[in-house]
Structure 1
């Protein structure tokens, strides 16, 4: 190959190969060296403008693909565990509220045990203070948490809440941690709120979202229903937190925690866990272990192990999983799948590095190629049948009775009488010969046909798939289906060794600019 033959596609293929081989940072360092070499004379005057434009356009660095999402099995187990925990949180608090209501309306109707609990919860609801409890050393904190969970969302509840919020809303972790308490309900069908899309220091980018509420029994499945549920469950805590800080709370978040500073039993135990920092530690590993969430085995050997590894629970992976599944749901149409980001960000940050998206895309592409190949083969067979044959005529060598006339890649038994018209052949392209009843192919044509196949494959890098299949698909299908199978592997090997350097496709078909 000479510099003039270098294409932008080849440079891009080389870059991707080096990224797979040595990693993105090292590959981009090599790319920088190549860029500096090619941009200097005399190479700059030899390579094509497309290559120079490609090298000038691509930056020195490429962003590392985002964290991969979860497989279908991992996703089901993860979301099921989170939804079960959030349902339990809801049930605990709702049971506590019902007990308070019953105590307020008719105390004697409660059992003695419920009266004791209801009286305690009444004091907590009025003051916001979870009292000190008499318990064995080391168990008081656990006992106080159990009491607080009857009325408040606690610090131990954050993991399932964030996982389910991410799974249902599809928003990034920063947005979830800064969900506002202010909202507007639209016709009891949707909730509208202004969320923080991104936060870089003091700069914030905002976005107004409208989330479906759905019926009450679907509150754990719809973004608006889940938001309103959490808004209600944390309402008491937000009120005490606002009173403690003498400010109006702007965040939906308020959790109760066992205070490690400032002493136990006070309203300061109600707080917005993300007010000071969004990087507040969350123990997803402990939560995954508590539910025994396991990752799918990476291969058959790993599958034979008794215990698969613990599932790595990370909110960015939850977000990626949502984006992948949304993209699959719309058939891969990225403009329809992109909700809170541009198409470029969706692909670069979420789809590009996800194995589930890659496997799905390869499967879709594979089916599309099969469909295109079958359509091209059907077009070839229809054209061949119209010319009076059901298969191409393949002979070891032409006989003297054939009086064959050589074409670009095949021979013609009677160019003066086309089988369809009875008139001299007026073919648009020598590629049409592969669909003609007069076509004759012998062993001597194999080298040129193999060179043609290589040239057709190269054209796929220059034309779009639709144009390529329309222009070359029937001929390619005819060669692959009707010609090559008629020869032995030894004959094909010998022909490959004698393949000419050029297939002369440019000269044997209509000009490229012709419609």
Structure 2
């Protein structure tokens, strides 16, 4: 039996080891502040921040340079080189404002709240977009906050209080990034799949000479090709100035073979090329919904916990401060699954990663060298869509925006889940799912149709006749005082209603001179089929022949009216009779009423408004 009063059990562990000497960052910070120039490395990328253009106000620039240096350290607000560059550009923009309007502000103690407000107004008057203005304003204020945190009291009290908010000028709600429609998504997926098949065939035949038929493969050309591949295998790449490459180039030219893609053909036998990354990333984004920036930064060890035909993709979402590293569980198997696709990419990029000693997934050949990360893709994407002839909704060449692929995946998942936000919100909160991924133009027709259906259901519930089955009618005849829900009450009124004294063509009326569509005391102004949506109407088996006669008439009108016109005129009343009234009666009653309608020509009489356009 366990002694609950005993203390915690100590478990043996390993001794924690720390480096004997950690580098002191203060020396590096001092150099950065003094020179207004420093290099930072963020997310395995480096950038040089050059603030020497601010040296005209060096006393003011130095504490802000120190603030920017701290912002670029681990845990700082600048999580990527692009954000660090945006901070530097915003600070330079603030300097332009000072040079034009505040020449006497030379040190941080000279900065006032009016200075910040003036910078905000100056950007507004210059025509800068409100959202761009807010972004630059927030970055400048963040640097001043960091500077004040490093040296409390350096700012005047009014300027310190002004740092509590960004701006009192409104921004503009950004238009939501829309998803691509299903035809475009299908075209993108088919084109990417076709390229994937081509890639698999290319890596399966690594020893063949590209674009050379067996009949034209001379011995000298074969030897030159093999020697070039030996250089690639030994040195990693072969340049266009290499003697063996020049020899192969000459032999191909003398054989009448094209050389415009010779470098890519040689290296494409061992490595992925920059153009190969486009269809792979498109396919991965469409299948998983991962952000394109997260796909670009995937690591070689991103696949975790494979089990039961599924695997987790570990990725980094840098915008999720404090929870950047996330995992998404996806299907795993053949190349048609996200897990299988990543395994193929791992196989194809292994030689380049081995030579670069890189941990990134997308190591490939580009610009004459091996590179561990995805470079600029805009031109490659434009070339890819043009090569496949992909067009937009208007039939024009598609200008593909890779960031819209996540929305495209999310829109398809939204339709699949029926708009259930608890199932739709994967990778973010329900509020973000609703505001950023569900409220987009591509899904607006679904929301509008849902609202229209809901309003129709509400109208159907509010305006409908009272349908009495034969059993209910017999019970009321036996005891008229127990009528519940009818538009009349009392034995005499119920007997009059059931006897046919108050019949109109399609129903029995509980109050022809007290209808909901006109003033009390006046005859009902509604057309004859309006009885089917009137709370005064009572439908009994006695009215089935007239209802069936009218139902046959409106179905025959399909031959003379267009589908849209027929739905607008008769769709609602057709649904009322066929879906709500007739199911309340037995098949025998409906068959007997149909025979009576066919034998009684007076039931086929229709008022003039029935055929009116």
Question: TM range, normalised to the smaller chain?
Answer: 0.5 to 0.7
1:125 to 230, 233, 246: 233
1:238 to 346, 353, 357: 353
State the 1:320 CA deviation: 0.8
Aligned to 1:381: 466
Question: 2: distance between equivalents of 1:195 and 1:286?
Answer: 28
Aligned to 2:288: 169
**SS at 2:318 equivalent:** strand
Aligned to 1:478: 534
Q: How does 1:214-253 map to 2 (within 5 A)?
A: 214=333, 216=334, 219=335, 221-242=336-357, 249-253=358-362
CA displacement, residues 117-138 of structure 1 (integer Å, 9 cap, x when unaligned): 455434423331234333489x
CA displacement, residues 171-209 of structure 1 (integer Å, 9 cap, x when unaligned): 111111111111335247333342102348x97711022
CA displacement, residues 248-301 of structure 1 (integer Å, 9 cap, x when unaligned): x22101110133xxxxxxxxx111234xxx87655322221121111122xxxx
Equivalent pair of 2:273/2:365 in contact (CA under 8 Å):
yes
- Change in CA separation of 1:279 and 1:155 when aligned onto 2, cut-off 3 Å: closer
Aligned to 1:350: 437
Aligned to 1:289: 386
Equivalent pair of 1:384/1:437 in contact (CA under 8 Å):
no
- Change in CA separation of 1:125 and 1:477 when aligned onto 2, cut-off 3 Å: farther
- Change in CA separation of 1:191 and 1:126 when aligned onto 2, cut-off 3 Å: farther
CA displacement, residues 306-352 of structure 1 (integer Å, 9 cap, x when unaligned): xx211121112111110000010111112111211222212222231
Aligned to 2:192: 82
Equivalent pair of 1:255/1:270 in contact (CA under 8 Å):
yes
1:197 to 313, 317, 329: 317
Q: Does 1:311 align with 2:311?
A: no
State the 1:358 CA deviation: 1.3
Equivalent pair of 1:99/1:118 in contact (CA under 8 Å):
no
Aligned to 2:426: 339
Equivalent pair of 1:167/1:322 in contact (CA under 8 Å):
yes
State the 1:69 CA deviation: 1.2
**SS at 1:210 equivalent:** strand
Question: 2: distance between equivalents of 1:310 and 1:94?
Answer: 33
Equivalent pair of 1:153/1:255 in contact (CA under 8 Å):
yes
State the 1:64 CA deviation: 2.1
Q: Does 1:211 align with 2:321?
A: no
Structure 1: tracts of 5 or more residues without a match:
1-23, 27-58, 101-109, 243-248, 260-268, 298-307, 390-410, 423-434, 450-474, 483-515
**SS at 1:153 equivalent:** coil
State the 1:362 CA deviation: 2.8
State the 1:387 CA deviation: 7.9
Equivalent pair of 2:508/2:537 in contact (CA under 8 Å):
no
State the 1:168 CA deviation: 1.3
Structure 2: tracts of 5 or more residues without a match:
1-128, 132-168, 210-216, 475-485, 498-506, 522-530, 539-613
Equivalent pair of 1:373/1:477 in contact (CA under 8 Å):
no
- Change in CA separation of 1:187 and 1:387 when aligned onto 2, cut-off 3 Å: closer
Aligned to 2:126: none
2:180 to 60, 70, 85: 70
State the 1:412 CA deviation: 7.3
**SS at 1:439 equivalent:** coil
Aligned to 1:29: none
Equivalent pair of 1:173/1:316 in contact (CA under 8 Å):
yes
State the 1:419 CA deviation: 2.7
Aligned to 1:359: 445
Q: Note the aligned Cα RMSD (angstroms).
A: 4.4
- Change in CA separation of 1:384 and 1:190 when aligned onto 2, cut-off 3 Å: closer
Bigger Cα Rg: 2
CA displacement, residues 33-59 of structure 1 (integer Å, 9 cap, x when unaligned): xxxxxxxxxxxxxxxxxxxxxxxxxx9
**SS at 2:184 equivalent:** helix
Aligned to 1:419: 494
Equivalent pair of 2:511/2:536 in contact (CA under 8 Å):
no
Equivalent pair of 2:178/2:407 in contact (CA under 8 Å):
yes
Q: Aligned residues, how many? A: 324
State the 1:225 CA deviation: 1.2
State the 1:231 CA deviation: 1.2
Aligned to 2:201: 91
- Change in CA separation of 1:414 and 1:99 when aligned onto 2, cut-off 3 Å: closer
TM-score, normalised with respect to structure 1: 0.53
1:142 to 241, 261, 272: 261
Question: 2: distance between equivalents of 1:345 and 1:99?
Answer: 51
- Change in CA separation of 1:311 and 1:445 when aligned onto 2, cut-off 3 Å: closer
Question: 1: distance between equivalents of 2:282 and 2:202?
Answer: 19
**SS at 2:329 equivalent:** strand
- Change in CA separation of 1:258 and 1:445 when aligned onto 2, cut-off 3 Å: closer
Question: 1: distance between equivalents of 2:537 and 2:376?
Answer: 60
Equivalent pair of 2:304/2:311 in contact (CA under 8 Å):
yes
